[in-house]
Structure 1
Amino acid sequence: MKHLIKTFLIGGLAGFMGAYVFINVIPLNQEQEKPLSKQFTNELSVEEDRPNFVDFNDSRGFSEMPSFVEAAKVSTPSVVYIKTASRNQRSYTWFDMFFGGEGYENKVIGSGSGVIFSKDGYIVTNNHVIAGASEIEVIHNKRTYKATVKGTDPSTDLALLKIEADNLPFVKIASSETVNVGDWVIAVGNPFNLTSTVTAGIVSAKGRNINILDSQFPIESFIQTDAAINPGNSGGALVNLRGELVGINTAILSKTGSYAGYGFAVPSDIVTKVVTDLKQYGQVQKAFVGADVLEVTEEVYKELNLNDIAGVIITYIEPDGAADKAGLRRGDVILKINGKPVNSKSSFDEQMSYFKPGDKVNIQYSREGKMGEKQITLTNIDGTTSIVKREVYKAESIGAELEVVPKAERAKLNIESGVRIAKINSNRGLIAQMGIEEGFIITSINNRMIEEPRELADILERIRGRVIVKGVTKNGQKGYYSYYF
């Protein structure tokens, strides 16, 4: 131990002396070399001949370092701790099977963060934080509230919760358009159950697509930051130096599952649009251009002999869709939407996410080297300009909420009919017992096509024996469930 202390002292003293020599000896050497420098150099002044160094006794060099105190003070009260509980599929022992026991189920506990959006208790978090949860609690200022889900949007991984409370400290919101690469930001959340943790970093990039969302129509245009984000930060706030929200922390890129320098947040402008729609309509109003697009990369640029590596190229036009009616063609390269540049597929998706069905947008494009502009009236997923209000059928008998799959989505999935499991309300209901997950689209039961929610519920209530449920997973893969009643 004495040897260890001695080594540490010697090492520390050597380090200090090294620092002292570096800071102080070099200026002295420069003063001694002045005449020599002048003899050999006529063009450079003595001051220009000095190497750059920092005088640590002079605090002026650090006067521009930002303080995060105000941002933390303003934003921390509006970030909440979220606890969830979900139950695994019920398991049965041999005793239960022979003697009619109820079996057992394990409760799975999860946690995350959320941001208070209004003083009357609306809270934003990530969809993956509360997905599949049977119980959701919000903890704020040492008080615990039961939360209800007002709406979710898997395409942006956002969810809107509501608690019964008044005069809550809600977050101030800044437009994510004002955020620049290199700006200071802080992340506020509850990593590893450490409540109200604040970390700082900069905006490393904007418009990142990291392919993590398995929604049918994912919108990925993340703000990337090197502020430390860890498990438990999901749903927390990314704020600027004024404490204003610029994003909702959502994901990290890591081989270990912990912070590795790459964090990603949903831009605040997307968050605001999603929250507004969920409060007003119960679902997000998605606008469609009626075309599939592909980012123009160097490979695409060379293969198609385009004029520039910019924009997104139209690869498919939906017959009689919005783009088709406006006169756009396959092969057109979209360069701007309402005057804003489209530099990637993610920027195209982000700009489209701000509109709703019926909105008119101006598309600037390039066709065979010539510039053009078209005005397009955007549609909903069914190809009309109507606002879509979510219609959910609550099938209490099977413990789930069901909804019809829109026509355009059915066409994209190549299915004739289908009913989606929008939410599982009871862990003892038939849907939960069968192990069917939320988001699964049931297309048939024992080869009988399913078209309406009530029809699905009636069949499952009456059916006995072996059941084969076919359908499509929420990421578009076809599959089936087998169960014996």
Structure 2
Amino acid sequence: MTMRNTLKKLIPYAVVGVMSGATTFGAFNYFNVKNHDSDFNYFAPKTSDAKYASFNMAGVGDDFVKAAKMTVPAVVSIKNFSNKKSRTSDQDMFDFFFNPFGGNPRQQQQAPPPNMPTGMGSGVIISPDGYIISNNHVIAGATKLEVVLSNKKSYVANLVGTDPTTDIALLKIEEKGLPYLNFANSDNVEVGQWVLAVGNPMGLNSTVTAGIVSAKGRSIDLLSQQSKSPIESFIQTDAAINPGNSGGALVNPNGELIGINSAISSKTGYYEGYGFAVPSNLARKVVEDIKQFGLVQRGFLGVVPLDLSDERTVAAYNQQKKSNLKSGDGVYLIEVADKGGAEDAGLRTGDIITKVDNTAVSSYYDLSFAVGSKRPGDKVAVSYLRNGKQSTVNVTLKDQTGGTSLRSKADLSVTEKIGSEFEPLSEKFKTDYGLTSGVIAKNVQDGSEMSKIGIVDNYIVIEVNGKPVNSQKDIEKILQGYSGNVQVKYVDEMGRITTRGFKMP
């Protein structure tokens, strides 16, 4: 077989990101064989340009062109307007999503110019009537969201709902007949397959980059910065993703949506080879819940887990509890909640979960994805080790209140709507700190109204809508059936008294 025939067979499979380098190297070898008595030829002559360009086209095929034409019109730019200070122009809301492992000294906090967005990102149209999926961190803190289509037409978007645990948000614009993308089954995505990333990085609208799927089920402990119970099972890709790509589309060569681009691993804040996308199956489930119920329906096992794959966590646990747990695959149950699904099924403290349905559980993130992508009332087969013996039980998942029914916002209690529970202060505490009223905030939910105004666990709420509160019932009485603006006066950990408000959901 000649060198020329060998090149024709091999080059079409070369990675797009290094295609130009591969063809140059091939040209060097080919022409060096022909001219072995002459000096080295580091560049192919111009007469060969067309031939090697055709090799490039054979490598990527028409699929990329077709996929790009389908995807670009369905990917939008999202401008976040808020009252807070912005980071460098054309960067996403939370730059740690693009820089989880290092600092970017270039980023400076600065006041935004008038009528300028404090952050920018991307989104994907998923229905012809204007539903748009994006990242929660792209829209966080917005007082106004502006959506700009690829044809430059602009709309003010309504925020339908968010889910910090998956970093997904759903928006809506009032329009019909829009181009949109279909969700693909992300379970069928294979490591090594071609993908395109489409978004608006660094102010460059409708940018298309290509790469492959580098890994699946990747967890990078990223969403724990905005959620106490995150679900991470990212698709990792080497398609170039930069600030502004957040919320954009990761598609297969058929132009089908397989993921929502969310983050890169970088020491500088810019692309260094590793991008991460929320898989489409998880994103679709969140969107369907928000559209149908107004909130995400998430199932829980009812356990306190310990990730055995994290050696440092295991070592810390052993030191604290004077135990001798060994690190490895699986999730060790530190505690099983009373009347939870796990307890009902017979799981006990000390069991090690190794599998949920058909998903092997090697770490906490495997468990959170397998269970968190289900709804209350769903049943899952949980395989576990107890005293070295493998067993499997069926567990009926419950919500955080212990129920198995799907609920809408109308079914929620006042404290569930605002995202916090409350415990009364003792009279001695009030006397010692000069308070005449107050309750302690407990179990403040990620992304809740209380969380948005800066309240975390153990802050003291002293008034709601100008009325003193001394129990959870007081707050429920004030806000039951109320639909206006809520004013909350609270005391933080430094003893500072703050009043902030939100619209009652």
- Both structures adopt the same fold (TM-score exceeding 0.5): yes
Superposition RMSD on alpha carbons, in Å? 4.1
> In structure 2, what residue type is equivalent to 1:253?
S
> In structure 2, what residue type is equivalent to 1:186?
L
Paired with 1:361 and 1:421, the residues of 2 have a C-alpha distance of: 25
How many angstroms does 1:161 deviate by? 0.5
**Which of the numbers 131, 135, 143 marks the counterpart of 2:144?**
135
1:444 corresponding residue in structure 2: 461
Matches of residues 46-85 of structure 1 in structure 2 within 5 Å?
63-66=58-61, 67-85=63-81
8 Å Cα contact 1:444-1:450 kept in structure 2: no
1:116 corresponding residue in structure 2: 125
1:325 corresponding residue in structure 2: 344
8 Å Cα contact 2:331-2:352 kept in structure 1: yes
8 Å Cα contact 1:79-1:113 kept in structure 2: yes
> How many residues are aligned here?
399
Paired with 2:446 and 2:392, the residues of 1 have a C-alpha distance of: 41
Paired with 2:440 and 2:301, the residues of 1 have a C-alpha distance of: 22
Write out per-residue CA displacement over residues 82-117 of structure 1, whole angstroms, 9 at most, x where no aligned residue.
Answer: 11211139xxxxxxxxxxxxxx99665321110011
1:236 corresponding residue in structure 2: 248
- Larger of the two Rg values belongs to structure: 1
Question: Does residue 1:340 correspond to 2:359, yes or no?
Answer: yes
1:266 corresponding residue in structure 2: 278
**Which of the numbers 482, 491, 505 marks the counterpart of 1:469?**
491
Matches of residues 297-308 of structure 1 in structure 2 within 5 Å?
297=309, 299=311
% identity of equivalent residues: 43
8 Å Cα contact 2:249-2:261 kept in structure 1: yes
Paired with 2:478 and 2:443, the residues of 1 have a C-alpha distance of: 11
**Which of the numbers 375, 385, 388 marks the counterpart of 1:356?**
375
How many angstroms does 1:22 deviate by? 4.3
TM norm structure 1: 0.71
Secondary structure of 1:219's counterpart equals coil
Question: Does residue 1:246 correspond to 2:258, yes or no?
Answer: yes
Over 3 Å counting, the alpha-carbon distance change for 1:440 and 1:186 in structure 2 is farther
Secondary structure of 1:273's counterpart equals helix
Over 3 Å counting, the alpha-carbon distance change for 1:392 and 1:327 in structure 2 is closer
Mark the runs of 5 or more structure 1 residues left unpaired by the alignment: 1-16, 30-54, 90-103, 396-400, 408-413, 425-430, 471-477
TM norm structure 2: 0.69
Of the structure 1 ranges 201-210 and 282-291, higher mean CA displacement relative to structure 2 is found in 201-210
Paired with 1:361 and 1:290, the residues of 2 have a C-alpha distance of: 13
How many angstroms does 1:170 deviate by? 1.3
1:183 corresponding residue in structure 2: 193
How many angstroms does 1:365 deviate by? 1.5
Paired with 1:422 and 1:297, the residues of 2 have a C-alpha distance of: 28
Paired with 2:56 and 2:75, the residues of 1 have a C-alpha distance of: 34
Write out per-residue CA displacement over residues 116-155 of structure 1, whole angstroms, 9 at most, x where no aligned residue.
Answer: 1111111101111111111111111221111101111011
How many angstroms does 1:333 deviate by? 1.8
8 Å Cα contact 1:132-1:438 kept in structure 2: no
Paired with 1:142 and 1:462, the residues of 2 have a C-alpha distance of: 39
Secondary structure of 1:316's counterpart equals strand
8 Å Cα contact 2:227-2:446 kept in structure 1: no
> In structure 1, what residue type is equivalent to 2:288?
T
Write out per-residue CA displacement over residues 277-311 of structure 1, whole angstroms, 9 at most, x where no aligned residue.
Answer: 000111100100001223333855998577x9433
Write out per-residue CA displacement over residues 380-425 of structure 1, whole angstroms, 9 at most, x where no aligned residue.
Answer: 01111122323599x9xxxxx9614369xxxxxx96657779677x
**Which of the numbers 142, 153, 157 marks the counterpart of 1:147?**
157
1:405 corresponding residue in structure 2: 420
> In structure 2, what residue type is equivalent to 1:160?
L
> In structure 1, what residue type is equivalent to 2:285?
K
Secondary structure of 1:381's counterpart equals coil
Mark the runs of 5 or more structure 2 residues left unpaired by the alignment: 1-23, 37-47, 86-111, 423-438, 501-505
> In structure 1, what residue type is equivalent to 2:64?
F
8 Å Cα contact 1:419-1:441 kept in structure 2: no
